[in-house]
Structure 1
Amino acid sequence: MTAPVLAPPVALDPAKFRDPAVTAKGERRAVVALSGLRTLWVNTGTLCNITCRNCYIESSPTNDALAYISAAEVAAFLDEAAAIGAPLTEVGFTGGEPFLNRDLVAMLRDVLSRGLSALVLTNAMKPMMNHASALLALQRASGERLTIRVSLDHHEAAAHDLERGEGAFARTMEGLAWLARHGFRIHVAGRAGFGAGDEAAMRAGYAALFRAHGIPVDAADPVALMLFPEMDASVDVPEITEACWSILRKSPDSLMCASARMVVKRRGAERPAVVACTLLPYGSQFELGATLAESSRPVALNHPHCAKFCVLGGAACSR
């Protein structure tokens, strides 16, 4: 199963997001320094059990542009984080669908045994349920340090299924209900774009759904229920300059790349690589090296996602 490695998306204005040092207008581009590696993300592979209409990473049952990473490869990065004294507290697993990687449970066991917290992003469908027994054992041993974040794009089946395929909502709700019955720490990720700008109404809709199904998620909590902005790189967005920090009254330390990195394993590569964040797994300019130490250099905000999702959207993948 193969798929081409995707090229970085291009904004509508072709002059934008070209030079990592300056914007199309000649202003100094904003950069973000790593203040401390607190969250390490692991992309377990781009293969997924479903194909969504607007997956930013284009995961599918055939896209293996990012191959399955092994537990041993992840352990090496955890060892390095300890050796360099990184203030690591959390390891997040994303995909694709992480539970398709047979090493995921071993990775989680390793992370939790080191006293770290673990976060898994999943659609909570059959691949997750195939690991039910192992997950229950991890949950009993680690409790609140293991969080399962379930992707539920909308609180109504029709909208969710429009994105993820007919019947997807029902299958995800079955997995979500199973997690709730067994006392897992659950978070939910939705799509802000479905709310047409009315976040309060979206959260009220999720709250009603959670009550009806006994899901212990506080829909008013922006961490427990994350409503992510859309990431359409074909929509023109402004570039972020150094002056934007004061104009927007925003600190660069609030962005993901100030405290996180992601490990990926490219198809055919001998070893994994470290990239700037979860949103930019393919672009070569955001590949920062083969080790955590090499990846500690500053990141230039030279992509539409940097502006739309992180700076202007105010979103972050971590807790």
Structure 2
Amino acid sequence: MKFQDPHRTAKGERRAAVPLFGLRTLWANTGTLCNITCAHCYIESSPRNDRLAYLTLDDLRAALDAAKGEPLEEVGFTGGEPFLNRELVPMLRLVLGRGLRAIVLTNAMKPMRNHAEALLSLRGEAGLTMRVSLDHPDPDLHDAERGAGSFAATLEGLRWLAVHGFRLHVAGRAGFTAEPEAALRQRFAALFEANGIPVDAADPVSLMLFPEMDETAEVPEITEACWGILGKSPESVMCASSRMLVRRRGAKAASWVACTLLPYDERFDLGADFRTASRAVALNHPHCAKFCVLGGAACSR
């Protein structure tokens, strides 16, 4: 069977592994609780899923201290919905106070607006970016994934962020329809222009369109030979420069994991010690192939 042995593929070829060339992006999973339940959430976030507990300010501070000496540039906050974590704003202040960039992945709905006053105190920070999840410019397609009324609520949140001068990115999904990417970006551009949202839909960082993730999809395993065949370098893969910090429910300490997409797979849990978490990561999951190597996607810039 494929994706079983960390060292060899099902055909017996040497599996590709990616060393940590230097920690440039630290992802902080603030917890899996979310105000909505999406149909295809890769992390199964919902109002009831607290499998990953709230990360704490002390957890993050300890991780940043442990990573001193690394070429760290940014900290990304993901969830769940990060604004459900009451320590999010203090964590943002900690990160920005250390001269690092901070990016918050949010649905821009009520939990974010509940922090409006505190959030407004950070809007002048050059290093802060709000990345809002808007799956598709068609409200019906978005709502089919995230629930009735979610498109309107997120768009309202985007407008609020725009009016108050926050730096904005948007995260969409490319797999909802068969339309070409260029056409999808044009539709997003029209939506942004009509609503005064300062996001360049032609820029792949400002508007990130993520491929769909399906663990059951038939994808090839990535061997050491693939780098040359595909003309890619291990340094281009997300786990070459990033790790994610999580706090598992009931755990005594936060853990480092290899990838934002694989928070529950024990094979990608690298322990509580950053030195251990710095080891090479075997590309032993369908997401490694479809999303990262072949899809060319990354959660960061």
User: In structure 2, the residue corresponding to 1:227 is in which secondary structure?
Assistant: strand
CA distance in 1 between partners of 2:230 and 2:148 (Å): 41
- Offset of residue 80 of structure 1: 1.5
- What stretches of structure 1 move > 3 A for 4+ residues in a row? none
- Listed as ranges, the gaps of 5+ residues in structure 1 are 1-14
Count of matched residue pairs? 301
- Tell whether the 8 Å contact from 1:48 to 1:100 is kept in structure 2 after alignment: yes
2:158 to 164, 167, 176: 176
Q: Which residue of 2 aligns with 1:127?
A: 111
1:191 to 144, 151, 173: 173
**1:224-266 Cα deviation digits (max 9, x unpaired):** 0000000011111110001111111111101110000000000
Q: Which residue of 2 aligns with 1:72?
A: 58
Query: Structure 1 residue 227 and structure 2 residue 215: aligned?
Result: no
CA distance in 2 between partners of 1:201 and 1:251 (Å): 30
Normalised TM-score (structure 2): 0.99
Identity %: 71
Q: Which residue of 2 aligns with 1:299?
A: 281
- Tell whether the 8 Å contact from 1:161 to 1:168 is kept in structure 2 after alignment: yes
Normalised TM-score (structure 1): 0.93
CA distance in 2 between partners of 1:232 and 1:294 (Å): 29
User: In structure 2, the residue corresponding to 1:91 is in which secondary structure?
Assistant: strand
- Listed as ranges, the gaps of 5+ residues in structure 2 are none
Q: Which residue of 2 aligns with 1:53?
A: 39
2:78 to 81, 94, 97: 94
- Offset of residue 197 of structure 1: 5.1
2:261 to 267, 279, 283: 279
Query: Structure 1 residue 204 and structure 2 residue 190: aligned?
Result: no
**1:198-240 Cα deviation digits (max 9, x unpaired):** 1011000000000000000000000000000000111111100
User: In structure 1, the residue corresponding to 2:295 is in which secondary structure?
Assistant: coil
User: In structure 1, the residue corresponding to 2:122 is in which secondary structure?
Assistant: helix
CA distance in 2 between partners of 1:93 and 1:266 (Å): 16
Are the structure 2 counterparts of residues 258 and 197 from structure 1 closer, same or farther at C-alpha, using a change threshold of 3 Å? farther
- Tell whether the 8 Å contact from 1:77 to 1:291 is kept in structure 2 after alignment: no
**1:169-197 Cα deviation digits (max 9, x unpaired):** 00000000000001101000000102415
User: In structure 2, the residue corresponding to 1:277 is in which secondary structure?
Assistant: coil
Query: Structure 1 residue 103 and structure 2 residue 87: aligned?
Result: yes
CA distance in 2 between partners of 1:42 and 1:288 (Å): 15
